[in-house]
Amino acid sequence: MSSERIVIAIDGPSGSGKSSTAKGVARALGLAYLDTGAMYRAVTCAYLDAGVDPSDQAGVIRETLAADLQISTDPDLEQVVVNGVEVTTRIREPEVSAKVSAVSTVAECRANLVARQRAIIEGAANGIVAEGRDITTVVAPDADVRLLLTADPEIRMARRKAELGDKVDASQLADQVLRRDADDSTLVNFTTAADGVTHLDCTYLNLDETIAAVLDLVASVRG
C-alpha cells in the first residue's frame, strides 16, 4: 500500500456497521478516524444542557454555532467533549438519540458541522476514514475512496440491539434506526449510491469480511 495521504468516505443508514467498519479500516491503514454522527450527538447534548427545547429551531441553531466541540480522531480512543464537558458515553444514550434529529435535519446546523468536519479531514496528515450520512456527497465528495454501506433493515435493527442491549426497548430501537433514517433522509440521500460511489451491501457479511472488502476496494483504487 502506498504511503500517500488518502481520504476514505463511508456513508450508510443506522446500524449498517459503518462505524465499526471505518474504525477497522483506519486501524489497518494507520489512518485517523472521524465519526461525524458523534458531532451531531455532541451538539444535541449542548442544546439540551442549555435548556433549549428540540422544537426551538433558532435555539438549536444558536447552540450549534456556539458549541466548543472536540472529538478524538484516534480509532482506538473514543472521546467527545462539548463546551468543556465530556459526553463520550452520554451521546449514545436513548435521550440523545431521540433528539439528535433536531440538529441533523436543520440546514444551518448541518452546514456548520460540515465545515468543521472538512477542517478535521484536511488536517489529518496521513489521511482519514470519515463516516456518516453525507460524507461521500457533501463533506468529502473528492475523497479517494467513496463507499455506501447498507444492510437489510432487520439486520440493522439486530446489530444496533446487540450494541445497545438493555438500554433500549423495541420502540426506542425502531426510533433510533428507522425513524432517524427517515428524518435525516429529508436533507441527505444515504440509501442510494451517488455517481462514483461504490455500494457495498453487508447484510450477509460479518465485520471482518466487510473490513476486508473495503480494504480490497482501497487497494484497487490505489493500485
User: Which parts are annotated binding residues for ATP?
Assistant: 12-20
- Domain annotation covers residue 124: yes
Are the C-beta atoms of 128 and 8 separated by less than 8 Å? yes
C-alpha grid cell, residue 17? 456497521
- Domain annotation covers residue 75: yes
- Domain annotation covers residue 183: yes
- Domain annotation covers residue 1: no
Closest listed residue to residue 131, CA positions, set 147, 113, 116, 151 = 147
Residues 6 or more apart whose CB falls under 8 angstroms from that of 221 comprise 144, 145
Number of Cα atoms under 13 Å in the Cβ half of residue 154: 1
Provide mean pLDDT across the span 89-93. Answer: 94
| Residue located via cell numbers 455506501 | 148
Q: What is the pLDDT of residue 1?
A: 41
| Residue located via cell numbers 427517515 | 182
* Each residue's pLDDT tens digit, 154-165: 777 777 777 766
Q: Which domain holds residue 50?
A: 6-222
Give residue 2's pLDDT band: very low, low, confident or very high (50, 70, 90): very low
The CA-based angle 26-168-184, given to 5 degrees, is 60
Q: Which of 24-28, 84-88, 176-180 has the weakest average pLDDT? A: 176-180
Q: How many CB atoms lie within 10 A of CB 14?
A: 22
What is the CATH number for 173? Answer: 3.40.50.300
Please give the residue that has the higher pLDDT: either 163 or 49.
49
User: Which parts are annotated binding residues?
Assistant: 12-20
Domain count, the chain: 1
* CA torsion through residues 104, 33, 95, 157, sign: positive
- Domain annotation covers residue 44: yes
- Locate all alpha helices (DSSP H) within 55-152, ordered by sequence: 57-66, 94-99, 101-104, 107-122
Q: What is the pTM (predicted TM-score) of this model?
A: 0.85
- Domain annotation covers residue 34: yes
Provide mean pLDDT across the span 106-125. Answer: 97
- Domain annotation covers residue 213: yes
Overall residue count recorded for the chain in this entry: 223
Q: What is the pLDDT of residue 14?
A: 78
Q: What is the pLDDT of residue 25?
A: 98
Beta bridge partners of 128: 7, 32
* Each residue's pLDDT tens digit, 58-88: 999 999 999 999 999 999 999 999 999 999 9
Question: What average pLDDT does the structure give for the chain?
Answer: 90
C-alpha grid cell, residue 64? 450549534
Q: What is the pLDDT of residue 222?
A: 81
Number of Cα atoms under 13 Å in the Cβ half of residue 124: 26
Cα gap 121→32, rounded to integer Å:
9
- Domain annotation covers residue 58: yes
Give residue 180's pLDDT band: very low, low, confident or very high (50, 70, 90): low
Q: What is the pLDDT of residue 221?
A: 87
